[in-house]
Structures are given as C-alpha cells and as structure tokens.
Chain A
Amino acid sequence: GAGVSQSPRYKVAKRGQDVALRCDPISGHVSLFWYQQALGQGPEFLTYFQNEAQLDKSGLPSDRFFAERPEGSVSTLKIQRTQQEDSAVYLCASTPRGAPGTEAFFGQGTRLTVV
C-alpha cells in the first residue's frame, strides 16, 4: 500500500500475556518511529530507528518493551507480560529521510487493551 500499515488494528490481551505489534512503513523510508497514545492524550515517543539501527529508545517505559527492525523495513514492537497500564494506541510513523524536521507519515495505530 501507499501508506504506513499497522497490524493488528485491535488487540485484546490478558494481563501477563506477550504481544507483538507490526508496522510496515512506506517503502524506502529511512526513519521509523513508535509512539504510545493514551486515551485523551497526545502521542508520546517510544523509540526511533534509522534503517536497522535503533538510535533512540529513551521513551520505552520499561524493559518489558522491545522493538526491532532487523532489515531496515518492517518493525515489530513487542510487549512482554502486559499490564493494564499498557492499554493504549500504539502509532508507527515513518519519514523518507533522517533529517530533522522531516514530515512524518503515520499509520492508523494498534489499539491494545489489556484485561
């Protein structure tokens, strides 16, 4: 497709379960970002890749969160032993270049509900 694609769109997990969220960025885009958006809030930065290198993971809330982009295209955000506070929409964005101020293209997000 032409845009950023995320799957699944919705995920319900039991507390303690591991989940994996997938992001397919726009083809050829160098940079990829993950954001977490709690209900009624703005997105908050989690982590950033330039090609396959994870250059910034300062926003990951705990060591239960792990992201990878092994071939510089598709990325997976994994959350281990999910907890209720992990419930949020997880947004992926990509940009064509790694330059500052580049417009980011967002996917529709994955809504994670932990019960």
Chain B
Amino acid sequence: AQKVTQAQTEISVVEKEDVTLDCVYETRDTTYYLFWYKQPPSGELVFLIRRNSFDEQNEISGRYSWNFQKSTSSFNFTITASQVVDSAVYFCALSEGRTGANNLFFGTGTRLTVIP
C-alpha cells in the first residue's frame, strides 16, 4: 500500500529564513514517482517537481531544492530565503510506476506561513 506522511502540519517562518518541509513515503513498488505541489489560497494545485525512484540526484531550482533519499524513504523540500509569496499549503505526493496506475497519493500537506 502507498502512504505519504507530512508530519509538519503548520510552519511559520520570518521572511528570508530558510525552511525545510519533510515528506516520508511508503510503497512496495520498485518504480515510483514523487512530486511536490503548491496550493495557494486560490485552490489550484501547482506542480513544482517530479522525481523517479531511480534518480536520487538532488535538485536545485532557484530558491527551491529537493533532497531525495531512498534509504530513509524521504523526499524533503527546502525553500531558501523565503518570501511572503511562498505562503501556501505544500503537498508531497506519490504515484506508482505501473501502466494505468497514474493517480497520485497525497500527504496531508504542510501549511507554510511566511511572516514579513
């Protein structure tokens, strides 16, 4: 069975601080995909990044970076020098690698508030 755990329900940081959002997953599949989505108050889920299970290379995109570690089943997300516009709910999600099994299993989300 698939499961995604985001233990941090809410985080508040002061603008320009760095913040890391944790994600731990469970799956029996050897091939799977991990995602991070951002949900601003407008409600639309915005795609941030996708990693497949065979690619443990960490990635940096501007102020965002991701740390994928299969050994600990974690896929953590760090925002450097946070900004007020980063305030949103962030979801980690997992999908299986089998054909036809494309739906996403989401964590419960972490609400990030960046205080000016």
Minimum CB–CB distance from A85 to chain B (whole Å) comes to 18
Q: Looking at the complex, which one of A42, A48, A108 makes contact with B91 (CB distance below 8 Å)? A: A42
A-contacting residues, B28-67, CB 8 Å = 31, 33, 35, 37, 42-47, 50, 52
Which of A18-26, A61-69, A97-105 contacts the other chain?
A97-105
Residues of chain B within 8 A (CB-CB) of A109 are: 43-44
Q: Looking at the complex, which one of A40, A43, A101, A105 makes contact with B33 (CB distance below 8 Å)? A: A101
Minimum CB–CB distance from A37 to chain B (whole Å) comes to 9
Minimum CB–CB distance from A53 to chain B (whole Å) comes to 11
Minimum CB–CB distance from A102 to chain B (whole Å) comes to 7
Contact A107 B44 (CB under 8 A): yes
Minimum CB–CB distance from A98 to chain B (whole Å) comes to 7
Closest chain A residue, CB of each to CB of B31? A100
Assuming the A-B contacts A45-B103, A45-B105, are A104 and B47 also in contact, with contact meaning beta carbons closer than 8 angstroms in the complex?
Answer: yes
Residues of chain B within 8 A (CB-CB) of A104 are: 45, 47, 104
Residues of chain A within 8 A (CB-CB) of B35 are: 103
Residues of chain B within 8 A (CB-CB) of A48 are: 102-103
Give complex CA distance A76, B93 in Å: 25
Taking Cβ atoms with an 8 Å cutoff, the residues of A that contact B are 3, 31, 33, 35, 40-45, 48, 50, 55-56, 59, 89, 91, 93, 95, 98-109, 111
A-B CB contact pairs (8 Å), 27 listed:
A33-B102, A33-B103, A35-B104, A41-B109, A43-B91, A43-B104, A45-B104, A56-B101, A89-B43, A93-B45, A98-B99, A98-B102, A100-B31, A100-B33, A100-B95, A100-B97, A100-B101, A101-B95, A101-B97, A101-B102, A102-B102, A103-B35, A104-B104, A106-B46, A108-B42, A109-B43, A111-B43
Given A101-B97, A108-B43, 5 more A-B residue pairs with CB atoms under 8 Å apart are A43-B45, A45-B104, A99-B99, A100-B33, A105-B47
